């Protein structure tokens, strides 16, 4: 059963393969022009070539819709690209947009052609109604978010060159999490308020190699193993309840049944005491994502011959910086630790944790008030994001930046993001489009 008037059009977007590398973006743009004729007739498609330099901007889409006033520009973001698929693990072809019961199955259904579709459809419908927005509206769609491409940095450079300070930027991130009836008794709109930082770091152990029949102590592989083991058994980075983490736990409590709610509210208030316990080994580090910078070992390698000790072995670690933990401070700590195990450390890439949107500020309040209109029964909850979004590129030049697509998802659906059988409940599109229409009209 298809229970939204939008589903046919949404499927057209899903049926174009837009995998970051090698996707068919030309066809995708043709489909957009066909599905959103008003947007293409009335909005100004910004030429980015002057600011792109030697970066490829051919598939970056930035539309400007001129409003009555220009002092509070609204930027609605999404990305056109999707992550690759392993078709053999899908129940339906990932670019067919198969509808089963009330869901549509396709790569990009929730990450994040839904965001692109709903933002563009909101503008399309307002144009059809003859509405002029109170403020300028920009639609910004990168073709390479999933590979940390230059799409959004080019858009940022355009804003900087034109002296445009976005009042509010809204990108993918949180969603309306449907109550599961077990843990959560209420729907929660998770409003991404910030995202953690990121680093890939390589640790190398060097030695003299030798014959495996005469093994010395502390071979490269043994040192790597000891180091990894040490990191798993010790809390490397100090646990801390940031203001945003406390606020998140405190608000989430409203969706819990009574006893859990009281417990969670207490954590929200006394987070400072709870953080070290929640990050402890005893608690299986369950709270580390929220209360600490984390380190996870991701790739490793060493010898190639089974009867020889290698000259070198390595392991790479993926690190997520908590707000307030600078890369400098964390790298200094890791260097000291690496020295202890006689390892060399090499930072492959990193970025700092992003700033936190002011949840008492005008931008967040506006978003929250529309949430209360569209989803009156939901708990609106600020959210510390663990994953990365393109929003981080525009946040430094914007007054307010929010990471949330206000669309209903189940916990099962969120778990399928970047995985197999990604799907969206079709009827969820309607409220999300309504939300963006209100946001555009109420940003005065």
Q: Which spans of this chain sit near Zn ion (rule: CB under 5 A)?
A: 111-112, 172
Return the number of the residue (174 or 207) whose C-beta is nearest Zn ion: 174
Q: 158 is written with which tokens?
A: 């355009």
Return the number of the residue (293 or 395) whose C-beta is nearest Zn ion: 395
CB of 53 to Zn ion, least distance (A): 25
CB of 229 to Zn ion, least distance (A): 35
Q: Are 368 and 191 in contact (CB under 8 A)?
A: yes
CB of 79 to Zn ion, least distance (A): 6
Return the number of the residue (112 or 426) whose C-beta is nearest Zn ion: 112
Interhelix angle for 113-128 vs 428-442, to 10°? 60
- CB proximity list for 164: less than 8 A, separation 6 or greater: 73, 158
Return the number of the residue (9 or 145) whose C-beta is nearest Zn ion: 145
- Round to whole Å and give the CA distance between 120 and 115: 8
- CB proximity list for 275: less than 8 A, separation 6 or greater: 239, 240, 241, 245, 287, 291, 292
- Which three-class secondary structure state does DSSP give residue 158? helix
CB of 113 to Zn ion, least distance (A): 10
Q: 318 has which bridge partners?
A: 200, 296
Return the number of the residue (76 or 288) whose C-beta is nearest Zn ion: 76
CB of 109 to Zn ion, least distance (A): 12
CB of 249 to Zn ion, least distance (A): 25
Q: 259 is written with which tokens?
A: 């006893």
- Round to whole Å and give the CA distance between 36 and 38: 6
Alpha carbons within 13 A on the beta-carbon side of 330: 30
CB of 43 to Zn ion, least distance (A): 23
The dihedral over CA atoms of 258, 264, 268, 274, expressed in degrees to the nearest 10, equals 150
Return the number of the residue (152 or 443) whose C-beta is nearest Zn ion: 152
Does residue 112 have a cis peptide bond before it, meaning omega lies within 30 degrees of 0? yes
Return the number of the residue (173 or 239) whose C-beta is nearest Zn ion: 173
Q: What number of helices (H) and strands (E) belong to the chain?
A: 16, 17
Return the number of the residue (111 or 195) whose C-beta is nearest Zn ion: 111
CB of 145 to Zn ion, least distance (A): 6
């Amino acid at each position: 059963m298809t229970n939204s008037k939008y589903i046919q059009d949404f499927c057209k977007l899903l049926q174009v393969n837009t995998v970051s590398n090698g996707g068919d973006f030309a066809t995708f743009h043709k489909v957009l022009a066909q599905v959103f004729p008003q947007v293409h007739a009335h909005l100004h498609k910004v030429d980015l070539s002057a600011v792109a330099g030697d970066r490829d901007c051919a598939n970056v889409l930035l539309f400007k819709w001129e409003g009555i006033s220009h002092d509070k520009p609204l930027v609605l973001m999404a990305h056109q690209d999707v992550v690759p698929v392993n078709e053999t693990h899908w129940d339906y072809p990932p670019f067919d947009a198969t509808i089963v019961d009330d869901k549509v199955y396709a790569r990009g259904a929730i990450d994040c052609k839904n965001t692109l579709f709903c933002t563009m459809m909101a503008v399309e419908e307002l144009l059809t109604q003859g509405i002029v927005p109170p403020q300028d509206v920009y639609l910004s769609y990168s073709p390479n978010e999933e590979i940390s491409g230059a799409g959004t940095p080019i858009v940022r450079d355009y804003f900087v060159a034109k002296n445009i300070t976005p009042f509010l930027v809204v990108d993918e991130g949180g969603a309306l999490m449907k109550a599961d009836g077990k843990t959560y008794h209420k729907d929660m709109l998770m409003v991404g308020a910030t995202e953690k930082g990121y680093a890939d770091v390589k640790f190398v152990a060097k030695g003299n190699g030798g014959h495996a029949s005469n093994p010395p102590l502390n071979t490269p592989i043994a040192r790597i193993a000891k180091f990894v083991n040490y990191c798993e058994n010790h809390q490397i980075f100090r646990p801390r309840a940031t203001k945003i983490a406390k606020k998140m736990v405190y608000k989430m409590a409203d969706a819990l049944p009574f006893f859990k709610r009281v417990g969670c509210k207490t954590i929200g208030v006394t987070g400072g005491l709870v953080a070290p316990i929640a990050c402890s080994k005893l608690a299986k580090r369950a709270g580390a994502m929220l209360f600490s910078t984390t380190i996870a070992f991701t790739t490793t390698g060493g010898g190639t011959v089974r009867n020889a000790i290698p000259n070198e072995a390595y392991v790479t670690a993926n690190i997520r910086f908590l707000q307030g933990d600078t890369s400098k401070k964390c790298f200094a700590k890791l260097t000291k630790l690496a020295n202890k195990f006689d390892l060399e450390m090499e930072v492959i890439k990193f970025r700092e944790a992003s700033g936190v949107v002011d949840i008492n500020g005008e931008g967040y309040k506006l978003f929250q008030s529309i949430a209360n209109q569209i989803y009156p029964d939901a708990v609106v909850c600020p959210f510390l994001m663990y994953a990365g979004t393109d929003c981080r590129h525009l946040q430094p030049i914007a007054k307010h930046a929010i990471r949330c697509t206000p669309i209903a998802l189940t916990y099962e659906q969120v778990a399928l993001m970047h995985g197999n059988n990604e799907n969206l409940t079709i009827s969820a599109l309607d409220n999300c489009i309504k939300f963006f229409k209100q946001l555009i009209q109420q940003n005065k």
